[in-house]
Amino acid sequence: MLSVFLLTINSLRFALPIVTLFGTAPTFFTFWFLLRSITFVFPPHIYRRCDDHLYSIYQRLVLFFFQNWVHVK
């Protein structure tokens, strides 16, 4: 029984990063849209700085899963 459970968990190991990344993408898109709406009245360099920061946060999340969970370097 335990071996069947462990085999199932190991075979579905790829599912957690996929679900997490696809689950967080709408949240990041919504936050980006709000950011774009708010910074519309400010100079473009403020939007670019905020957009770059948001992008780096998302890339850190992607790298975290692909380096630690999937064991890809």
Rounded CA gap, 34 and 30, in Å?
Answer: 6
Mean pLDDT along residues 30-48: 93
Residue 73 — pLDDT band, cuts 50, 70, 90? Answer: low
Neighbour count for residue 41 (Cβ, 10 Å): 7
Rounded CA gap, 27 and 58, in Å?
Answer: 11
Rounded CA gap, 61 and 14, in Å?
Answer: 15
Mean pLDDT of the chain: 85
* Residue 65: per-residue pLDDT: 78
Neighbour count for residue 51 (Cβ, 10 Å): 14
Does 62 score more than 80 pLDDT?
yes
Task: Give pTM, 2 decimals.
Answer: 0.68
